[in-house]
């Protein structure tokens, strides 16, 4: 089943240069897809267009047959409960306990008043603990987030995304601030999200070898255009050079 479909997507921030140009791809439910490409290629912008953190200029983003570009504020809020987001710098509230940060993932289901008063049900609290246990950090539930290591904070970020009960998780350079060991733990957890929970993952990565190890499929972006889209085993050295290099940027079809 196709979960996400982008058709002719274009994005410009200053109405002069296209940051993204004619982006077309589909993602099936349960796929683990990495997006690679040099700095400034448009990887973060692409993820932001998908959940409409930024508006697109041209084209269509379909999420389960809903055209995201047409949604009004309230509908968009509802749709975003289906799309979790994981950030390079975690985006947690550092002075709040881990458990509260995880429960913030439920805000999309709350009224503004319930959110302000941090009103969460017993079921939601049990789920938060369950996820922290799954991620191996339940013992830190009542610690402030800023007392945790980077890798532990990223696991809080994953728990916060999962408690939303999402169908898609967008990860924007989730391991860019972590050492190799912590990176592996995070990537293993992200992989198990797709394999065990059948949640689709779209992950921006700088580390090509990590993308190759974990992904079903890799999309290569350069100067706002897709120049590679195929299974990870076809990402050869030459293709990596093509994605990161400056030579002719023709689409490689595989």
Ligand X SMILES: Nc1ncnc2c1ncn2[C@@H]1O[C@H](COP(=O)(O)OP(=O)(O)OP(=O)(O)O)[C@@H](O)[C@H]1O
CB of 111 to ligand X, least distance (A): 30
* Nearest to ligand X of 40, 94 (CB atom): 40
* Nearest to ligand X of 29, 176 (CB atom): 176
Place of tokens 């996400």: 4
CB of 115 to ligand X, least distance (A): 26
* Nearest to ligand X of 162, 205 (CB atom): 205
* Nearest to ligand X of 21, 100 (CB atom): 21
Q: Is 212 exposed, middle or buried (0-12, 13-18, 19+ CB in 10 A)?
A: middle
Binding site for ligand X (CB under 6 A): 13, 19, 37, 39-45
CB of 47 to ligand X, least distance (A): 8
Place of tokens 């047409």: 70
* Nearest to ligand X of 90, 120 (CB atom): 90
CB of 161 to ligand X, least distance (A): 19
- Do the beta carbons of residue 222 and residue 41 sit within 8 Å? yes
C-alpha to C-alpha distance for 144 and 146, rounded to whole angstroms = 5
CB of 74 to ligand X, least distance (A): 25
Measured between alpha carbons, how far is residue 31 from residues 15, 28, 87, 180 in Å? Answer: 33, 6, 20, 24
């Amino acid at each position: 089943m196709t979960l996400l479909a982008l058709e002719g997507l274009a994005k410009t921030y200053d109405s002069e240069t296209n940051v993204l140009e004619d982006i077309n791809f589909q993602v099936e439910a349960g796929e683990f897809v990495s997006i690679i490409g040099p700095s400034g290629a448009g990887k973060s912008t692409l993820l932001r267009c998908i959940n409409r953190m930024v508006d697109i200029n041209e084209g269509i983003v379909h999420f389960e047959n809903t055209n995201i570009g047409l949604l009004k504020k309230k509908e968009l809020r509802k749709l975003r409960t289906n799309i979790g987001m994981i950030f390079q710098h975690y985006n947690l509230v550092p002075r709040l306990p881990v458990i509260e940060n995880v429960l913030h993932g439920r805000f999309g289901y709350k009224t503004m008043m319930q959110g302000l008063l941090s009103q969460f049900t017993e079921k939601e609290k049990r789920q938060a603990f369950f996820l922290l246990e799954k991620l191996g950090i339940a013992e830190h539930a009542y610690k402030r987030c800023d007392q945790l290591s980077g890798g532990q904070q990223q696991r809080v970020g994953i728990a916060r995304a999962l408690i939303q009960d999402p169908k898609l998780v967008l990860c924007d350079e989730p391991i860019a601030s972590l050492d190799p060991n912590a990176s592996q733990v995070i990537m293993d957890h992200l992989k198990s999200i797709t394999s065990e929970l059948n949640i689709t993952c779209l992950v921006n990565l700088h580390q090509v070898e990590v993308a190759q190890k974990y992904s079903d499929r890799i999309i290569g972006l350069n100067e706002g255009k897709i120049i590679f889209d195929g299974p990870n085993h076809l990402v050869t050295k030459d293709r990596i050079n093509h994605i990161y290099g400056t030579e002719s940027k023709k689409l490689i079809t595989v």
